[in-house]
Amino acid sequence: MNRPKIGILDCGSGNLRSVYKAFRREGALPAISKAVDPEWDGLVLPGVGAFGHAMRNIDHVRDDILSFVRGGRHFLGICLGLQVLMESSEENPGAAGLGLVPGNVVRIEAEKVPHIGWNSLDIRKESQILAGMKTGTYFYFVHSYHADPADEVVVASCSYQGSHLTAAVETDNVHACQFHPEKSGSEGLKIIANFSRLAGDG
């Protein structure tokens, strides 16, 4: 069995150890680093906190991330790691995102923010990262902002107090989820396993 090398990028916030343990459990060879290793098979960017803070923390590896993705290898963004794929965010106007996915990040329009807890997905189209998932599957969310990307890249959404929120996006070798698969039990581990398989297959 091929054990893919998965790089987990340390951007100064996020559940790095939980993500690391989840990939180990699914048979991958994860490594936590502040730099991008070109020998990795897949790259993961987890994160919690503010958009602008995250972008400042990864500014020194911005070009390396873009080169990694444009080289055809698989990328997984988790929570804030999804949001920084966008072009910009209302949370920190003027802070440029990675721009790998067209769209902006906006504040959740709901009576109670942040959105914290378990929520079910509405799977809108087939995707590599959600293979084996069904509409109605529950995942764990913690966020006050959500991505508003081009509709064609949205593979799953969820409803929260009357608002429809982007839950997962995918375009070619770029995959991302607003929820935390590493905190979502056995269903979350399926996301980790799917990404590990994609990275290992090249």
143 is catalytic: no
165 contacts 178 by C-beta, under 8 angstroms: yes
C-alpha 5/C-alpha 190 separation (Å) is: 18
The 8-class DSSP code of residue 200 comes to: H
Catalytic residue, candidates 11, 79, 158, 177: 79
15 contacts 25 by C-beta, under 8 angstroms: no
Which domains occur in the chain, in start order? Answer: 5-201 (3.40.50.880)
- Predicted TM-score (pTM) of the model is 0.96
C-alpha 112/C-alpha 143 separation (Å) is: 11
User: Across residues 1-23, what is the average pLDDT?
Assistant: 88
Strand ranges of the sheet holding 103-107, from the earlier edge strand across to the other edge = 88-89, 103-107, 145-149
Catalytic residue, candidates 115, 146, 175, 180: 180
The 8-class DSSP code of residue 100 comes to: S
26 is catalytic: no
53 is catalytic: no
180 contacts 188 by C-beta, under 8 angstroms: yes
- pLDDT beyond 90 at 1: no
pLDDT classification of 12: cutoffs 50, 70, 90 = confident
- pLDDT beyond 90 at 48: no
Catalytic residue, candidates 26, 91, 170, 182: 182
